Each structure stands twice: as structure tokens, then as C-alpha cells.
């Protein structure tokens, strides 16, 4: 008997075009999920649909309430929505002094309001069904202090507390809500950050950043995807209102 099966379920994954989101999208397609990806990068949309047969990608700015609501209504009209994974997000480096108002607004619009928009649109559908899973992508930055991550930490702290609120408010509607908090994961963003800020020292900086995790390496997107698979499966039906660090020992074993 197959465990952690999501066959014939419908999932919406935001920011599913690259990195962790793409790994989740690909794994869920393999598991027989009817996957809808909300993605802002048009090149990623074309690549996703070409790589994963049956996946449907929709151009969407998750910070735009009306845009999100229309797409999710269209998806719901085809049947059901079993799973929402709020993965879309942007990073920012800086302390409070060098974080501009524009920086803060951009982080809020995508990382916080985006989660609000998508969850608000999906929850009424899940209430009618009397079941559903919402999984949010938080970060270890929601739980521990990290240098030069003022705005990003603010947004991920909000993700953590919104997760708890949704889990509490919709217990009686059969809706579960949890979040995952990764440490540093090897994604295209990390490679781009290193090449932009440390030209000529890419290998050295990669090793240095890898060693910030006590296990001595970065996480892989596929590892996050497998945790997401479990938390969205029926085997996790006793789990709601929790945060799951996947961090190579960063939170508990540092120092």
C-alpha cells in the first residue's frame, strides 16, 4: 500500500516555478496530484508546463487580490481544492537602517499579503468541502535572530503567526494549517546572490554559507518537498497549527 499518497487531489502551489516551489510541484505531479501553479515569471511558466506533463501554470501576481481571487475561482469551478501551498516569496538583505519604505512594502505585499490573498480565496471552498490543507513556507528567520534580515524576518514571523491563527479558526471546518521553516537551501537564488556579491570567490562563499548549518551543508529543495508531501497527506491528519524547522540543526545546535 502506498503511503503519503495524494493521488487525484488538487493542489495550488504559489511560486512554483523555481527552487523549493518547483521541487514541490514536480514531486506532487509524480504523486498523481492535479497541480496548479501560480507564478509571476512567464519564462518559468512555459518551462514548468513543458517539464511536468499535466501541470497547469497560471500567470499571477499574488499581491493582487482580484487577480488571485479570479484564478482560484476558476480552479474551484473545475471541482475541488484539497491543498494550498503558500510558497511564493521574495528575500531582502538589510538591517532597519538600510531597509527603505519601498523595500518593506514590497516584502509585505508578496510575503504577507500574498499569503492572505490566496488563503482568503481558498478557505471558503475548503469550508464547503469540510476538508483542506494549507501549508505555508516560513523560515528559521521567524524563530531566531539573523543578521541583516530585518524585513524578511518580519514577513516570516507574520507567516508563522498567520499559520497558527488559520489553524485555530478553522478547526471545525476540517482545515489543517501548518508551516515549514527551512534554513539555507541551495536554490538558484543562493547561486545568484553569491555570484553578484562575491565575484571570483563563489566557491569559497558557497562553502562558508554551507557551514552555517551544523550538519555542514545547505538543504536541497527536494528535501523540503518531501516534508511538504507528508504534511499535506492524510497520514498527517493529526497535525495542525505547527511549525516544522528543516534546518540542519541551525536552531537547536548552533554554537
The C-alpha cell 478557505 sits at 123
Report the alpha-carbon distance of residue 48 to residue 36 in Å, rounded: 11
**H-helix or E-strand spanning residue 67:** helix 65-76
Sheet containing strand 83-86, strands side by side: 56-59, 34-39, 10-14, 83-86, 132-137, 175-182, 243-246
Residues annotated as part of the active site:
152
Query: Is the separation of the CB atoms in 90 and 111 below 8 Å?
Result: yes
Report the alpha-carbon distance of residue 24 to residue 170 in Å, rounded: 25
Query: Is the separation of the CB atoms in 232 and 135 below 8 Å?
Result: yes
Contacts of 138 (CB under 8 A, 6+ apart): 156, 159, 160, 163, 179, 180, 181, 243
Amino acid at each position: 500500500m502506498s503511503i503519503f499518497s495524494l493521488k487525484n487531489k488538487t493542489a495550488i502551489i504559489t511560486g512554483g516555478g523555481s527552487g523549493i516551489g518547483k521541487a514541490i510541484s514536480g514531486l506532487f505531479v509524480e504523486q498523481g496530484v492535479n497541480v496548479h501553479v501560480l507564478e509571476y515569471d512567464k519564462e518559468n511558466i512555459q518551462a514548468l508546463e513543458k517539464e511536468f506533463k499535466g501541470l497547469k501554470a497560471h500567470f499571477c501576481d499574488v499581491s493582487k487580490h482580484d487577480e488571485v481571487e479570479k484564478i482560484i475561482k476558476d480552479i474551484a469551478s473545475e471541482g475541488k481544492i484539497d491543498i494550498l501551498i503558500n510558497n511564493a516569496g521574495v528575500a531582502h538583505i538589510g538591517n532597519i537602517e538600510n531597509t527603505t519604505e519601498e523595500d518593506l512594502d514590497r516584502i509585505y505585499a508578496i510575503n504577507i499579503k500574498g499569503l492572505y490573498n490566496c488563503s482568503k480565496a481558498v478557505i471558503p471552498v475548503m469550508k464547503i468541502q469540510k476538508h483542506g490543507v494549507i501549508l505555508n513556507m516560513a523560515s528559521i528567520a521567524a524563530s531566531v535572530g539573523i543578521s541583516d534580515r530585518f524585513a524578511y524576518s518580519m514577513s516570516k514571523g507574520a507567516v508563522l503567526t498567520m499559520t497558527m491563527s488559520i489553524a485555530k479558526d478553522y478547526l471545525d471546518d476540517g482545515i489543517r494549517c501548518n508551516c515549514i521553516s527551512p534554513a539555507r537551501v541551495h536554490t538558484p537564488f543562493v547561486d545568484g546572490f553569491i555570484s553578484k556579491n562575491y565575484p571570483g570567490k563563489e566557491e569559497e562563499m558557497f562553502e562558508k554559507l554551507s557551514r552555517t548549518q551544523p550538519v555542514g551543508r545547505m538543504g536541497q529543495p527536494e528535501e523540503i518537498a518531501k516534508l511538504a508531501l507528508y504534511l499535506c497527506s492524510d497520514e498527517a491528519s493529526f497535525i495542525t497549527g505547527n511549525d516544522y524547522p528543516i534546518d540542519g540543526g541551525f536552531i537547536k545546535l548552533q554554537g
